[in-house]
Structure 1
Amino acid sequence: METKDLEAAIQALSSHKKAWKFVEAFSHELLRGSYTDSYDVANQTAEVLKVVAVATCMAGLKNVRRSLRAVGRYLAGLGGKYTYVIGNVTRRVLKLVQETLDDPDEEFSIQENTKEALSLFLDEFNQTRDTMVTNAAVAEQIHSAEVILTFGRSATVERLLLEAAKKRTFEVVIAENSPRGDGHGLAKVLASEAKLDVTLIPDSAIFAVMPRVHKVIIGAEAVLANGSLIAPAGTLLVTTVARHYSKPVVSCAELYKVTPLFPLSTMADSKLLHPATILNEEIALEIPNVNIVNPANDLVPAEMISLLLSDNGGCSPVVVHRLVKQLYDEVEVPL
């Protein structure tokens, strides 16, 4: 969608005051950085798009698709690290609306058909979190007495470890993910709530600790169409060390993180953070000819991942393209 078309669609949608109110409220929350879990972002995106679809469906399929794509692209532009998630949910909703309006139930109005279809989608989506961690194929990935290494704090990995701890006793080694240090929060939760044996290590100790690890479990912000991952910066280091020691690497990512997009390059798929988090400003001013690059993400190649776990169970990263074909319409890949 061209910029002019995007602006026109947004302007047309603003006449639907109730729908636009939902869009504005969500966009403000994204700008404030109010969300810390991709699941909450995905769920709210689906809720907002449902309101938009119901408000505009009487104008015909073409206008509904135009409005949904405009809102999805607008929100994705504000989403920061959740850009992929927002785009993926938008594409899922577009496909669902297309199928619903192409073959409507004649007993109901177009608006009722659209509302019912998206309500069912949301009900199914709301079960994603529980389905992911209770799936038998997922639960069997952690065995008693194993030493599991993870990096930083992934909400998906955290739920998986907490669920596994109800049935098994194992040890968790957590690399802190400096300078964010979010691994500290995960260590506290696992030690206090799950009563697990937890070891918190600096990122520099990953290579030294890896020989005693049985398995590496990591999260992801997005799973690209070729099976590679967009993950927090430092994840590539972990997977490289794991590969050196021939340790299996398991990635946990719900289906809404699977995207039809392909990687362009390592830097093109990474947001850059302020350099002050890794180098004091006073020191930086003393070395003006040095470029300080602080990427938010790593691009982890598919060959680094042994198994991809989702709410559908487990699969090899090389077959992600099949999931993409099931989830999305090829026409909707570019928003």
Structure 2
Amino acid sequence: MTIVTHSRTAKRGTYTPSAALVKDVLAGRAIAIARMISRAEEGYPEAAEALAELYKHGGNAHIVGITGVPGAGKSTLVSALIKAYAAEGRKVGVIAVDPSSPYSGGAILGDRVRMSETAAAGGAFVRSMATRGHLGGLTRATLQAVDVLDAAGYSPIIIETVGVGQDEVEVVTAAHTVVVLSAPGLGDDIQAIKAGILEIADIHAVSKCDKPEASATVSALQGMLSLGGGSGSHWTSPVLPVSAVSGERIAELKDAIGAHWAHLHDTGELAARQRAICKTRILGTARHLFQQKFQQESATLETHIRAVTERRMDPSVAARALLGWEEIR
């Protein structure tokens, strides 16, 4: 039987069951990795058991989140980091989360084409994933894709988020190390975003360090950090000016990422971060399954919507009823 495979580019060929892909994923074969990520992204029930098996083989990768406002140069920075890690013989994985196309629901690739060219030269694996309307900078399948790359032996695994300002804070629940990238000359814009994404940074990077405004942006960030409260960690977030185009100070940023990873291990903070990631994933999956269940059972949901609309029930009681905690009255 021939059907359309689940790779990003649809081709007609023999379908391989997900369970049969596990061995090839563990061996690091790119085609198997791409197919498994596609099935995770599409939510194929057939892939659940294989993904669960791959999860057991992970837990070794350093997950790095790259976030920041749109236009800061995140994709260019990721490309520069791929080159830096490749020069050390590191096997880098990248999950680049993009805005969804309003027509197809697919990812708008943009700079991902150039990033993929860099990845091909450096032996990295880059996958672009659409948000599909998901708020918070990450998609539901982002961490499943990370699991696949982790099991395949990639480390670090970089999550580049969509670039939507304060909604980016979700990346802190997915990564061990969070790099927030700012562009020079933001001025008052820094004040507008500092209550959101700036506080989640383990490392601050300022792009285009060759511009004269870069030093002012670095000073502004350092000033705001000095006024901020403690995070409970003994780590002091550095502010590093970099140029992804020229490569200036990219090695220093790479070293800072490595230093933070070592800090997490040395202080025992890694266990707390892992626990927070697991908690978020369990609760997030529960929310997804809850929504999925009542989208499929629309009549049940409609009954409660009608009761709330007619003021026979308030929304909190209706929610409890959907969970089976209350009987409808």
Same fold judged by TM-score > 0.5?
no
Structure 1 length as normaliser, TM-score?
Answer: 0.30
User: Could you say which structure has the higher helix fraction?
Assistant: 1
Q: TM-score, normalised to structure 2's length?
A: 0.30
